[in-house]
Amino acid sequence: MRDAFAKQLYNLAKKDKDVMFITGDLGYGVFESFARDFPKQYLNVGVAEQNMTGIAVGLGLEGKKVFTYSIANFATFRCLEQIRNDAAYHNVNLTIVCSGGGFTYGPLGMSHHATEDIAVMRSIPNIKVVVPSTAWETYHATKKLVNLDGVSYLRIEKGGIKKPPFKNVKYKIGKSLIYKKGSDVSIVVAGGIIEECFAAAKELENINIKCQIISMHTINPLDEQAIIKAAKKTKVLITVEEHNCNGGLGGAIAEVIARNNIDCQFDMVAINNKFSSIVGDQKYLRKEYGLDSKFIVSKIKKILKK
């Protein structure tokens, strides 16, 4: 996803001199060509994320299309006041790019685990929250966000599928994508953890349980009609996210189900409201906190037994 973002950012800056990229001392080995070819559109402010956001707001108010970039918790929590009071309140054209959603930086410990960011960012007015599930989605989301008014939060990881789910599929902000069709269970996912959903769906097929997998890559604005349609179709809907259970994708979808009084079995696969005190890579931490394919399979089996 990170490389897809960097590639699209380069293309955008080449065509539009108003595109600005500000990094908080991050991205070495990824953005050297951007810095070399567009020196007037690139700024490294160092480890000073609050200042980074303030500079971005000033540039945005002058008509620039600004991207800020850092590890998730530093790009968001460290400068939350600047994001809320300066950027969102004034509806500045700013895309806050989080490098390392969820447990991407697992070996660096809880200070680098982004597990509450979706809940925080979607609670602030005027912020679009985009959590691509694949590299393909990241590439197209970057292009869409650059020309949208207001603040956006783009949460990316490393790796990711590079192809669209089906041929001739178009990416739209606020419009979910079906990656796999099925009639028994709807799995709604945001982020690179979609790979665990594919593995779970494949295992469930062996016992004749057919899952549809929906990438809810935009959490604000949310594709409410797709959620309602999926819940009514399969009567069983679960959300999967590399995030705390409070306020993230699962919380957003639960709100839709409750508001519309949808009759379905609903559950979440998410971190059970705790900090990660364990150090390990992303795959290991998913297993430790009940987010991997085996846990998804177990959750679905229990729901269907009811």
Domain that holds residue 62: 2-156
Q: Residue 29: exposed, middle, or buried by beta-carbon count in 10 A (0-12, 13-18, 19+)?
A: exposed
Q: Do 141 and 38 belong to one domain? A: yes
In a domain? residue 172? no
Q: Do 120 and 28 belong to one domain? A: yes
Cα separations (Å) of 35 from 27, 29, 46, 56, 185?
A: 11, 11, 14, 17, 46
pLDDT band at 122 (very low <50, low <70, confident <90, very high): very high
Distance between CA 302 and CA 306 in Å, rounded?
7
pLDDT in tens, 240-286: 999 999 999 999 999 999 999 999 999 999 999 999 889 999 999 99
HSE (side-chain half, CA atoms, 13 Å) at 262: 25
**Cβ neighbours of residue 217 under 8 Å, at least 6 residues apart?**
130, 131, 132, 133, 137, 141, 176, 177, 190
In a domain? residue 99? yes
pLDDT at 267: 97
Mean model confidence pLDDT for the chain: 95
pLDDT band at 30 (very low <50, low <70, confident <90, very high): confident
pLDDT at 28: 81
pLDDT at 26: 84
Question: What torsion, rounded to 10 degrees, do the Cα atoms 210, 228, 142, 170 define?
Answer: 70
Distance between CA 272 and CA 282 in Å, rounded?
17
Put the strands of the sheet holding 265-271 in their side by side order.
Answer: 177-180, 211-215, 185-190, 236-244, 265-271
In a domain? residue 161? no
pLDDT at 167: 86
- Looking at the 3D structure of the chain, how many domains does it have? 2
In a domain? residue 139? yes
Q: Do 151 and 231 belong to one domain? A: no
Please give the span between the terminal C-alpha atoms of the chain, in angstroms, as a whole number.
Answer: 38
Q: Is the pLDDT of residue 214 over 90?
A: yes
140 close to 173: Cβ distance less than 8 angstroms: no
Q: Is the pLDDT of residue 306 over 80?
A: no
The structure tokens listed for 194 are 């979609």
pLDDT band at 168 (very low <50, low <70, confident <90, very high): confident
Q: Do 229 and 108 belong to one domain? A: no
Question: What torsion, rounded to 10 degrees, do the Cα atoms 180, 176, 253, 189 define?
Answer: 50
Q: Is the pLDDT of residue 305 over 80?
A: yes
CATH number for the domain that contains residue 206: 3.40.50.920
**Cβ neighbours of residue 299 under 8 Å, at least 6 residues apart?**
238, 267, 269
